[in-house]
């Protein structure tokens, strides 16, 4: 987060040297010096050396320290600790630090932060702490933060920054420049100013370079552009981020239900949101929900349990299919030896197709008009690779078990399962997406269930038929 830092103005003695090693990890020697200063209760050193870090560097340092050292660091640094760094660490670390602080101190810390960073920290706290902290804040800040917190989680209203520059349309460029020169209470950094009428209704926006290139007597309303992409505060953060990304905006106005300007979303929020969403997609495809590396053993085990339980159910289903052919296997053990190959190849081919489909859906590259074309393409890819691998595995099996018949059976089963994999890999995400489900979270199980069941059934069924077994 930390979007008012939209600037290249990074503290003096910081990176590129000192904090990170050549691989981009927190430098070992630096970390040891900090740990020594924490153990030796040396606040002077910490305030000096850690106090000048950029918030993101401080965040990385916090993540590299163990929990006790983190708490001590915050305590020893006192006022010199930059609480913005809390927006740069995992939720578990953030909570462990904030929960260890008295509410009065949290309130004091939040006053120094931009509204969006303060909301980011407040939203994870429990109801009671949040209320007590808000009550300790001055009236204006309390109102602003409460309003943001009233918008739904992961909405534009939650992520917006309520500090911005807004001027009336009838001002001249000269008046606007003079206002910016004299006004003390401006955001730390900004790239755009907004134009509003007396009721705060959004009229337009002007980029700073446009103001700099205009003559002083020009009216703001003559150089502003309409803000066609005002973001409703209730809008999902991902949708808002995609709009800002698509139209290459530096910042976008966030408006309430009466089209009044209530905040702005800046492009670095967008980066955070898009990174977070990509991270979610990857983790969902891997079956690990919203887990973070700093979660406790119990949290991680619990969040993975449900996914594994679903997988167990589908694995038992596949075993039932094998169970249908127990007599066949008893007469020909080679089938038991070879059957995982057919299932595994199908599973991998299905995962490949599914990965492409999930990404294309996320990028809106598949729609009604090209779905047919893409399904045909996947079926053809499945057929092509199916035939190639059928030849390879057919040959391997025939030589291994000295049976041309067995080679033929596994070859046919391979083609069948690779085709099934291709179709399941493309159709399951499409159907889930059509019904409003997130294809990233559920496709994997369904696809491998199909390829396991089809793989075992095709191979064992064909073998039973061909060799007259069972």
- CA torsion sign for 150, 156, 159, 162 is negative
170 interacts with a copy of itself by CB under 8 A: no
452 interacts with a copy of itself by CB under 8 A: yes
In the set 143, 275, 399, 465, which binds a copy of itself (CB under 8 A)?
Answer: 275
212 interacts with a copy of itself by CB under 8 A: yes
> Binding segment for a copy of itself among 40-48, 119-127, 153-161, 189-197 (CB under 8 A)?
189-197
Cα-to-chain-centroid distance, residue 213: 38
Q: Which is nearer to a copy of itself, 129 or 259 (CB)?
A: 259
| Shortest reach from residue 244's CB to a copy of itself, in Å | 9
| Shortest reach from residue 130's CB to a copy of itself, in Å | 27
Give the gyration radius of the chain's Cα atoms: 30
Paired tokens of 13 = 């003695």
264 interacts with a copy of itself by CB under 8 A: no
With tokens 């064992």, the residue in question is: 460
What phi and psi values does residue 248 have, to the nearest 5 degrees?
50, 45
E strand intervals along 200-310: 202-207, 231-232, 251-255, 261-266
| Shortest reach from residue 138's CB to a copy of itself, in Å | 25
189 interacts with a copy of itself by CB under 8 A: yes
Q: Which is nearer to a copy of itself, 129 or 268 (CB)?
A: 268
In the set 25, 170, 465, 466, which binds a copy of itself (CB under 8 A)?
Answer: 25
Q: Which is nearer to a copy of itself, 155 or 449 (CB)?
A: 449
Q: Which is nearer to a copy of itself, 60 or 82 (CB)?
A: 60
167 interacts with a copy of itself by CB under 8 A: no
Kindly state the number of chain residues that form the binding site for a copy of itself, as judged by CB under 8 A.
138
| Shortest reach from residue 419's CB to a copy of itself, in Å | 13
Long-range contact pairs involving 436-444 (C-beta distance under 8 Å, separation at least 24): 438/284, 439/357, 439/358, 439/361, 440/280, 440/281, 440/284, 440/285, 440/358, 440/362, 441/284, 443/285, 443/354, 443/357, 443/358, 444/285, 444/287, 444/351, 444/354
| Shortest reach from residue 134's CB to a copy of itself, in Å | 27
Paired tokens of 224 = 């502003």
| Shortest reach from residue 438's CB to a copy of itself, in Å | 14
Task: Label residue 83 left, alpha or beta by phi (over 0 means left) and psi (-120 to 50 means alpha).
Answer: alpha
Nearest CA to 165 out of 208, 199, 198 is that of 208
As a whole number of angstroms, the distance between CA 171 and CA 219 comes to 6
Query: What mask of x and - would describe binding to a copy of itself in positions 89 to 108, judged by CB under 8 A?
Result: -x------------------
| Shortest reach from residue 149's CB to a copy of itself, in Å | 24
140 interacts with a copy of itself by CB under 8 A: no
In the set 161, 192, 237, 451, which binds a copy of itself (CB under 8 A)?
Answer: 192
In the set 106, 118, 354, 406, which binds a copy of itself (CB under 8 A)?
Answer: 354
Residues 6+ apart with CB under 8 A from 24: none
What phi and psi values does residue 214 have, to the nearest 5 degrees?
-90, 160
In the set 123, 124, 132, 207, which binds a copy of itself (CB under 8 A)?
Answer: 207
305 interacts with a copy of itself by CB under 8 A: yes
56 interacts with a copy of itself by CB under 8 A: yes
| Shortest reach from residue 125's CB to a copy of itself, in Å | 23
In the set 101, 271, 395, 412, which binds a copy of itself (CB under 8 A)?
Answer: 271
- CA torsion sign for 419, 424, 426, 431 is positive
Cα-to-chain-centroid distance, residue 292: 11
Q: Which is nearer to a copy of itself, 23 or 127 (CB)?
A: 23
In the set 38, 374, 411, 420, which binds a copy of itself (CB under 8 A)?
Answer: 374
Paired tokens of 442 = 């559920």
234 interacts with a copy of itself by CB under 8 A: no
> Binding segment for a copy of itself among 37-45, 106-114, 118-126, 362-370 (CB under 8 A)?
362-370
| Shortest reach from residue 412's CB to a copy of itself, in Å | 17
Strand 251-255, strand 261-266: pairing: antiparallel
Strand 192-196, strand 202-207: pairing: antiparallel
């Amino acid at each position: 987060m930390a979007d008012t830092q939209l600037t290249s103005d990074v503290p003096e003695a910081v990176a590129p040297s000192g904090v990170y090693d050549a691989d981009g990890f927190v430098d070992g020697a630096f970390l040891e010096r900090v740990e020594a200063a924490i153990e030796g209760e040396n606040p002077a050193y910490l305030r000096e050396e850690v106090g000048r870090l950029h918030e993101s560097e401080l965040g990385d340092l916090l993540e590299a320290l163990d929990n006790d050292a983190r708490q001590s660091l915050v305590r020893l640094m006192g006022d010199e600790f930059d609480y913005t760094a809390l927006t740069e660490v995992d939720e578990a670390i953030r909570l462990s630090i904030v929960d260890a602080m008295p509410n009065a101190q949290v309130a004091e810390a939040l006053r120094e932060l931009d509204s969006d960073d303060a909301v980011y920290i407040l939203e994870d706290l429990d109801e009671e702490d949040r209320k007590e902290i808000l009550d300790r804040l001055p009236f204006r800040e309390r109102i602003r933060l409460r309003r943001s917190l009233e918008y739904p989680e992961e909405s534009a209203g939650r992520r917006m920054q309520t500090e911005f520059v807004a001027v009336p349309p009838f001002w001249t460029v000269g008046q606007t420049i003079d206002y910016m020169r004299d006004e003390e209470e401006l955001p730390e950094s900004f790239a755009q100013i907004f134009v509003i009428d007396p009721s705060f209704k959004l009229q337009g926006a002007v980029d700073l370079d446009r103001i700099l290139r205009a003559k002083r007597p020009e009216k703001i309303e003559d150089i502003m552009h309409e803000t066609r992409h005002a973001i409703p505060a209730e809008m999902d953060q991902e949708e808002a981020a995609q709009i800002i990304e698509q139209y290459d905006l530096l910042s976008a106005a966030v408006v309430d239900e009466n089209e009044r300007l209530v905040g702005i979303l800046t492009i670095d929020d967008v980066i955070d949101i898009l990174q977070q969403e990509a991270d979610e997609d990857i983790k969902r495809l891997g079956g690990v929900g919203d887990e973070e590396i700093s979660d406790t053993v119990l949290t991680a085990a619990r969040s993975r349990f449900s996914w594994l339980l679903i997988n167990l159910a589908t694995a038992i289903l596949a075993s039932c299919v094998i169970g249908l052919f127990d007599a066949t296997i008893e007469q020909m053990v080679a089938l038991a030896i070879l059957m995982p190959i057919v299932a595994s190849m199908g599973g991998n081919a299905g995962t490949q197709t599914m990965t492409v489909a999930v990404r294309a859906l996320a990028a809106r590259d598949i729609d009604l008009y090209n779905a047919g074309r893409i399904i045909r393409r996947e079926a053809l890819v499945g057929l092509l690779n199916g035939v190639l691998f059928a030849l390879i595995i057919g040959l391997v099996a025939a030589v291994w078990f000295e049976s041309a018949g067995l080679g033929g059976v596994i070859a046919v089963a391979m083609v069948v399962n690779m085709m099934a994999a291709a179709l399941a890999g493309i159709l399951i995400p499409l159907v889930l997406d059509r019904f409003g489900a997130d294809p990233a979270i559920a496709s994997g199980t369904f696809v491998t269930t199909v390829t396991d069941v089809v793989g075992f059934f095709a191979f064992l069924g064909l073998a039973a038929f061909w060799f007259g077994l069972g």
